[in-house]
Chains A and B, each alone.
Chain A
């Protein structure tokens, strides 16, 4: 029976591969056909706006701190009423690994991942996305969340400038 098994085991695979020869290939012909990635697919990173149309980012640096490859950098600034924003914001997509930690770290839902995966470029400098490249007109995944409506804009006066506070001191300062 061993011989019969061997003969069967040699010939049957030929039938199987012949069957596969006439099946439709599973390949997606990329530039012509494109797959629709799921909505939570992690690809191009965007900066979203709150429902009022203002930038959500408060330049807290949590995203750049969370980033394992240090591809996010920014400069924090404040408007006159004390609202923080990013003076400039840069994501280096040549380094980004699309892990999504930045979007998870963001307390204001400003930085979000989108399913747009076609961001290749021949020139690495084109992959340095500045704030104007990153900002979109829209709320992204959360239509309602507005950070400052929950937390209030900190203070108009500088910290410690209110009636029952003393100004902050620097205990390590050596200035006489």
Chain B
């Protein structure tokens, strides 16, 4: 009985820690993005509040909370209220299966450094990340605004074109790890990271999660200069804030997933595992910010073309070849 309670307490502690860390990271990723984008455009970015603008996230939160919570006249009330929460919630839930360090042994008790080491962790991640799109779609639908609806439609089209390729790109990883558990996937990369073992799958997965994150160059669902704000056109205040935070939590999540699946997770020389994990996640996040500062937005049909005519055939071919090679070498 006390064993069960202890496990429960440990899970709660881990949940709390992860919740805090992820939200803090999301807040400071916003600042980092604004600073880095600014510097790439020969500006300073926010630098007025505190040293190097470090208090800016607090000011943003205060601004978002005190703003008027606006709802369009003909909006579908409950769905409108529910959608931003769904986006932020699914983004947070994904992190449950991410292992950020090898299992620790304290007081003769094995303590896995992951909230819940599901044996179908990968499927859980795919499922939850697809659910996240519902927040966008429902929000766009419930706003009763043309721009929001267009954004929601684009988001569905986008989902259909990248999701399949993303799933297919993960199968080689599962094949070489012989498990769906993310901890096992990291364990299987002790010698070589999957980036070197499955470079094609890595590229396909990279493009897919870039589309999943709804950031430039795949930010058609929000496309400020075409459809105002896309799905969040009608949202304001903290509801918009939830969408916004969800996007940056998603950035952390996809950084972690890329790290876990392809960059070797916590494996690395010299530094402790958790530091390596953090470095890799932050590097991936930087790369996404970098891409936002570099690439223009793709046209809507270009992403569909890329997804259906390039990524999916390539992923299938890659799967076939990888499976054949793995079968040959046993």
Contacts and interface: CB of A to CB of B under 8 A. Distances in A.
Interface of A: 10, 13-14, 16-18, 20-27, 29
Nearest to B38: A25
B294 A25 contact: no
A17 B43 CA distance: 13
B40 A17 contact: yes
A70 B59 CA distance: 42
Contacts of B43: 25-27
B295 A20 contact: no
Interface residues of B, number: 13
Contacts of A20: 39-42
B36 interface: yes
B319 to A, nearest CB: 22
A24 B42 CA distance: 7
Contacts of B36: 21
A23 B294 CA distance: 16
Contacts of A26: 42-43
Nearest to A12: B294
Interface string B142-175: 0000000000000000000000000000000000
Contacts of A10: 295
A13 B44 contact: no
7 nearest CB pairs, A to B: A26-B42, A17-B294, A13-B294, A17-B40, A17-B293, A20-B40, A25-B42
Given A17-B40, A24-B42, 18 more contacts: A13-B294, A13-B295, A14-B290, A14-B291, A17-B290, A18-B290, A20-B39, A20-B40, A20-B42, A21-B39, A22-B39, A23-B39, A23-B42, A25-B39, A26-B43, A27-B42, A27-B44, A29-B44
A21 B40 contact: yes
A108 to B, nearest CB: 46
Nearest to B41: A20
Contacts of A24: 42
B36 to A, nearest CB: 7
A58 to B, nearest CB: 48
Interface string B37-71: 01111111000000000000000000000000000
